[in-house]
Structure 1
Amino acid sequence: MSFGVPLLLATLVFVPVLLGIYVWQLRRRRRQAVRYSNVALLRAAGAGSASWRRHVPIALVLGALALLGLASARPTVRASVPTSSATVILALDVSGSMCATDVAPNRLSAAQAAVRSFVEGRDDETRIGLVVFSGFAQLAVAPTADRDELLAALDAVTTGRGTTIGAAILRSIDAIAELDPNVPPSDPVDEPSTDGPGLGDLAPAPSPSVGGSGGAGAGATADVAPEIVVLLTDGANTRGVTPAQAAEQAAARGVRVYPIGFGTTNPTQMACTREQYGGFTPRMRDFGGAGGGTIGGRNFLVVDEPALKNVARTTGGEYFAATDAEGLTKVLADLPKHVTVAEQDVDLSATVGIVAAAVLLAGLGVALRRSTS
């Protein structure tokens, strides 16, 4: 247990002082009682086997005062706090590669259906925000419990050129910071400006922690925030801040990121609806030719699992893989099982104060009962 204002624990000194005064008064009354040969007065002074009962009211009052002094110091304890009602930021990849048809009817439609099922399945207490990213990341819907607003924005997403995984993580951090004062907004970083392969390899990855892609993050030094980020992508970072850099910022703020790698390793032709294309119609040659090809050894139509696993390790989240629509729906449905609790400092001031009030009322009740009996 720790205390927010430990100096106020000094108020507890009044309890033994008052106890000393009470004991002194008892002895003084006893000496006065012995001075007179009045049997009734001797009995009133406390003779008899049940004399301890008359001390119960003052004991309860002193106990209440001690609890109030403790509450004023703002006691806190580390505890596992349920986060089923926490905020979830869904970061959805809407790059042109999401038009690949290796997942029927295409990756984007399958992702939209799975996310819709996830949103509709959350309880009314859960706030969900939507970040969409392609060549840049934007907050489409701030965290809200309004499911209609979320679903309308989800249905209206369109594809774009590029994949900015790192920027999506930073934008998700900023969305959390706007509603949680304990989470600072992201810091600006020097971002590479040109598309190119292997940007995730430019920053050194933190040392992997024991236990795979989940568990306590290597860089997770801050208190764990109740809010989480669910990042759904089908490719690799092509521009901007790297996933490794963004993950370090998330870990420093206690924000866990749960990346989901979506799609197969054999993407086929591109086929999106007119509404999904928006202003960008992707072609295979934009990604290096048929089958996706490679640019500098990186196939941007295939999930960059090493980078996503590193994000999970660094932030204390967990990486999931889904190769089809059914698998993605299952991953999203099972996700709350992996993020149900978080270690946080719980303020006990109110609880201790309520207990103190109850003890004080009990003491007053006992005193009134004795005075009327």
Structure 2
Amino acid sequence: MSFAWPLALISLLLVPGVLGVYWWAQRRRRRQAVRYSSVALLRSVLPARKRWQRHLPVALLLVGLASLAFAAGRPQMTREVPYARTSVILALDVSRSMCSTDVQPNRLAVAQEAARNFVEKQPKGVRMGLVVFSGFAELTVPPTTDRKTLDEAIKALTTGHGTAIGSAMLKGLDAIAESNPAVSPVGDSPDAPAANPGKPGANGFVPDIVVLLTDGANNRGIEPLDAVPYAVERRVRVYTIGFGTPNPAPPSCTREQLGGDVFDTRGFGGGGGGFGGGGGFGGFLVADEPTLKAVAARTGGTYHSAKDADQLRKVFTKLPKEVATQKRPTEITWWFAGLGALLAAAAVAASMRWSPYP
């Protein structure tokens, strides 16, 4: 614990000063008491009090004064808090393969619940944004501390055709650039990869991260590994999550998850009647783990695999620990001020309660 105004602690000298005055007053009272011809008579006219009742008001007053003296020094405690500009961008796959029922009730419903819990448990100072992607990527919620808006957006997710993982990464970088001036935007999805910027983290990382969850492989837009140099250049880590089992069950989207495609009869493919990222109904695609692992490793993040709801919840539980923090003093003056005022009031009340004079 430290103090913003340490010189104010001189006021602590009031405590021994008041204690000395009280001790002197007690000795003087004893000397005067022996002048009476009958000490027994003196005791008989005073109400009976226990020894601790006589000293309790002064004890409460002394502790209260000490607490107020500490408050005058503006005490501070140092604790770790997230950087004020930290942003966590959730990039969630909403391709039709997320309707697979290998995870009950389906992958998207489980991912929505896990993402909402993740948002709820983030520190208040962390801004969060939401990128959704299927055939293209879209920033639906810019980085914000408004958890309610983000929660409503996650609950309202609808599915589409295709899987644009690389585009989602670039859209996440642009979202971070909106709140962190140190990160430059990528702009419209480029067709060519950026120049190789070198080893990730060579110049440190920004505190902002992208958390990307998908159950398939990229089949739209820029390739994920071609998007990696843009993230490395901007010192942004990408944490990837491969979700779903190796043997997806038949899809079952709710009307809400189908959204505007509620009457779509083309099947669950990227344009050819396939399921998820492509393939026929018997040839389901699963998360492209080699690519997701490479994306995480090359940007300084980590890859996580989740095959059911419990595993996904555990993965999201680990992610906040990766966010950069800093030590910052937090003033706790009101703790001591409130305690001091309470003790002083208690001292007055005790003195009135056990006063020898009615």
Compute the TM-score of the two structures, normalised by the length of structure 1.
0.59
For residues 84 and 181 of structure 1, do their structure 2 counterparts lie closer, same or farther at Cα, with a shift above 3 Å needed? closer
Q: Where do 5+ consecutive residues of structure 1 fail to align? A: 1-80, 193-202, 207-216, 294-298, 347-373
* 1:302 CA drift (Å): 0.2
Give, as a single letter, the amino acid of the residue that structure 1 aligns with 2:268.
R
Name the structure 1 match of 2:300: 316
Note the alpha carbon deviations across 1:32-64, whole angstroms, 9 max, x for none: xxxxxxxxxxxxxxxxxxxxxxxxxxxxxxxxx
Q: Percent identity among equivalent residues?
A: 53
**For residues 189 and 112 of structure 2, what CA distance do their matches in structure 1 show?**
31
**For residues 214 and 134 of structure 2, what CA distance do their matches in structure 1 show?**
10
Name the structure 2 match of 1:212: none
Name the structure 2 match of 1:283: 268
* 1:126 CA drift (Å): 1.5
Q: Where do 5+ consecutive residues of structure 2 fail to align? A: 1-79, 328-358
Name the structure 1 match of 2:290: 306
Name the structure 1 match of 2:253: 272
Name the structure 1 match of 2:166: 166
* 1:222 CA drift (Å): 4.4
**For residues 333 and 154 of structure 1, what CA distance do their matches in structure 2 show?**
18
Alignment of 1:1-373 (within 5 A): 83=82, 86-186=86-186, 188=188, 190-191=190-191, 218-280=199-261, 281=264, 282-283=267-268, 285-287=273-275, 288-291=279-282, 293=283, 301-340=285-324
**For residues 244 and 274 of structure 2, what CA distance do their matches in structure 1 show?**
18
Give, as a single letter, the amino acid of the residue that structure 1 aligns with 2:280.
G
* 1:339 CA drift (Å): 3.6
Q: Is the 2:106–2:252 Cα contact (8 Å) retained in structure 1?
A: yes
* 1:155 CA drift (Å): 1.0
* 1:156 CA drift (Å): 1.0
Of structures 1 and 2, the larger Rg is shown by 2
* 1:125 CA drift (Å): 1.2
Q: Is the 1:230–1:258 Cα contact (8 Å) retained in structure 2?
A: yes
**For residues 268 and 134 of structure 2, what CA distance do their matches in structure 1 show?**
15
Name the structure 2 match of 1:200: none
* 3-state SS in 2 of match to 1:272: coil
- For these two proteins, the number of residue pairs brought into alignment is 237
For residues 100 and 331 of structure 1, do their structure 2 counterparts lie closer, same or farther at Cα, with a shift above 3 Å needed? same
* 1:259 CA drift (Å): 0.4
* 1:186 CA drift (Å): 1.2
**For residues 151 and 141 of structure 1, what CA distance do their matches in structure 2 show?**
10
Q: Is the 1:228–1:257 Cα contact (8 Å) retained in structure 2?
A: yes
Q: Is the 1:222–1:252 Cα contact (8 Å) retained in structure 2?
A: no
Name the structure 1 match of 2:20: none
